[in-house]
Amino acid sequence: MKLESVLVKKQTAIVKKWFDLVVDTYPADTSRFLKRQKDPFANPVGSTTLEGLKAIFTDLMGELEPESAMGHIDPIIRIRAVQNFTPGQATGFVLSLKKIVRDQLGDDAGDPERRKELEAFDARVDQLCLIAFDVFVKCREKIFQIQATEQRNRFFKAFERAGLVSEIPEKETDSGKSDLTQ
């Protein structure tokens, strides 16, 4: 049986283990809550993570479509990017899928044919990890951009609209010269 077929059969167990592992990156009290509470609105972190992992796992069953993978991993990483994680901690869970899959395969993982398939699978996981890192950086940049924009807009915009800010007159901008030089 092809690796993908085996993994699809074991999908529920693998995703559950993967989810547990991601959730265990939180403190124990939090991790218990994230696993227990099923309401997506009472527990957005847990439900977003679980839904995301399910979709990503499906993405990994064939050639990785970067756009689809990015769409599925974005919600998970977006959350972790504002939480108390280093970049490695925020994205590292992707790589742990390799071990989970091997554990699930047991002795079968040592089979030479299987090892070749696993190598290809590993490469897709690595690619996914890089996508996760890209998303993480994008989110962090977004946070800083929001911060910078907010500072600028907070009151300046209103003052500007009210004409309380003295702006460079139009003609100076057009001619590129100031009145003094004309």
The separation between CA 135 and the C-alpha centre of its own chain, rounded to angstroms, equals: 5
Binding window for another protein (CB under 8 A); candidates: 8-16, 50-58, 156-164, 173-181: 156-164
Closest CB to another protein among residues 144, 182: 144
Q: Using the rule CB under 8 A, is 27 a contact of another protein?
A: yes
Q: Which of 6, 8, 24, 98 binds another protein (CB under 8 A)?
A: 24
Closest CB to another protein among residues 123, 164: 164
Dihedral sign computed on CA atoms, order 7, 98, 40, 30: positive
Q: Using the rule CB under 8 A, is 51 a contact of another protein?
A: no
What whole-number distance in Å separates Cα of residue 93 and Cα of residue 21? 7
Closest CB to another protein among residues 25, 58: 25
* Residue positions counted in the chain: 182
What whole-number distance in Å separates Cα of residue 102 and Cα of residue 67? 27
Q: Using the rule CB under 8 A, is 163 a contact of another protein?
A: yes
Side-chain half-sphere CA neighbours of 121 within 13 A: 26
What whole-number distance in Å separates Cα of residue 46 and Cα of residue 133? 20
Contacts of 83 (CB under 8 A, 6+ apart): 90
Give the single-character DSSP code of 106: G
Binding window for another protein (CB under 8 A); candidates: 12-20, 26-34, 106-114, 173-181: 26-34
Q: Which of 62, 106, 154, 170 binds another protein (CB under 8 A)?
A: 154
User: Which residues in the 90-119 window bind another protein by CB under 8 A?
Assistant: 92-93
Secondary structure string (H, E, C) spanning 35-51: HHCCCCCCCHHHHHHHH
Find the shortest distance in angstroms from Cβ 16 to another protein: 17
Q: Using the rule CB under 8 A, is 44 a contact of another protein?
A: yes
Q: Which residues of this chain interact with another protein, rule CB under 8 A?
A: 24-30, 33-34, 37, 39-45, 48, 78-79, 82-84, 86, 88-89, 92-93, 139, 142-143, 146-147, 149-151, 153-155, 157-159, 161-164
